[in-house]
Amino acid sequence: MKLPSGIDMDLLLTLDALLDEQNITHAALRLGISQPAMSARLTRLRRVFGERLFIAAPNGRGVLPTPRALALRLTLQQVLNGMSALLEPVVFDPATSQRIFVVALHENPALMVGADLFNRIREQAPLARLRFVQPDLDTLSQQMEHGEIDLFIGIGETVNEGWVGRQLFTDHFVSAQRKGHPRGARELDLETFCSAAHLLVSSAGDPFVGIVDRVLAKLGSSRQVLMSTQSYATAPALVAGTDLLCTLPRRLLKQFASSLDLFEPPIDLPSLSLNAYWHPRNHEDAASIWLREQVLQVAGGLERNEG
C-alpha cells in the first residue's frame, strides 16, 4: 500500500504515535506538541487520506483506529524504518571492509611511506586493498573530484586551492656514496663535492640540472652531473654500484644505509615538506577519514624514528 502524496514527516510521526498510544493527549506528549497542534494534525490527516483514521472511543477514553488506519501500519513502519536508516551515520568497519583505497603519489613518497602504509592497512583492514597510481597533474583535479582518487601525497607540487591538505612531515637532503668509495669517508667539502661525479634524479625539465645545481650556481660553483635517471627507485642501486654521488631526501636514502654512506651536503638546501591532500567531498567520509588517519600514523612513526 502506498502512502498518498501531500503527507510529510510530521504527519507520519503523528499517525505512528496515534496508532501506538490511541490517545490524543499521550500522543501529543510523545511528540512534544500541544493538544491544539495535535488536533490540527488530525484534521490534516483526514484531508490527506480523504477519510477519518481515528474515531472517539465509546468509553470516552482515547481514540480507536479505523480499518484504514490499521491497514496503514505496515507501510508506515517500513517508511519510518527507511527514514531512520537514511539518517543514520555511515559506519566504516575496517575489519570487514573490502574497499579499494587509491592513493596518487610519485616514486619518492611511495618509497618513503608505501611499505609502512600497506602493513598498517593490512593489519587493521585485511580485506581492503591499496592501489598506488602515478599522479597526472593535468587530470588529478578531475580524478579527485570524481572520487577516482582518495588521497594525493606530494612534495612541493602545485595543488588545487580547493583541496584540503595536511603536512605529514618535513625532510632534508643528504648526499650518498657507496660504501668503500675511493674518496674515503671524509665529510664533504665544497671542492670535493663539486669535483665528484654525480647522479641526478630528474623527472621533468633539464635532466642534468636540479635544485642542487641551481644553489651551486648562486654560489658561483658547479658540479659534474654525469648520469641522470627519472627513477628514484633505481638511484640507490646505481650509486651503490658506481663511484657516483647523489643528493636526495634523507628518508629515502636511509633505507639503503647498508650499502650507502650518507653525508651532509656542503651547501644549504631547502627542506622538503611531504603533504597529503584530499577533495572536500571526502572530508567527512568515514572510510576516507580512516585512510587519512593511517597515513598520519605512518608519518608520525617516521618522525619518531628520526628523533
Q: Parallel, antiparallel, or unpaired for β 197-201 and 224-229? A: parallel
* pLDDT for res 1: 47
Compute the distance between CA of residue 116 and CA of residue 291 in angstroms, rounded to an integer: 13
Domains, the chain, in order of start with CATH, read: 9-87 (1.10.10.10), 94-171+273-305 (3.40.190.10), 173-270 (3.40.190.10)
Q: List, run by run, the mean pLDDT of 10-residue segments along the chain (307 residues).
A: 68 91 90 90 89 86 89 87 70 91 93 94 96 92 93 84 91 96 95 97 88 96 96 94 97 93 96 93 92 94 72
* pLDDT for res 5: 61
- Burial group, residue 271, by CB count within 10 angstroms (0-12, 13-18, 19+): exposed
> Would the pTM of this model clear 0.75, i.e. be above it?
no
Query: Partners of 65 in the beta sheet?
Result: 54
Residues in contact with 288: Cβ distance below 8 Å, sequence separation at least 6, in sequence order: 150, 151, 278, 282
SS3 125: coil
Compute the distance between CA of residue 184 and CA of residue 235 in angstroms, rounded to an integer: 20
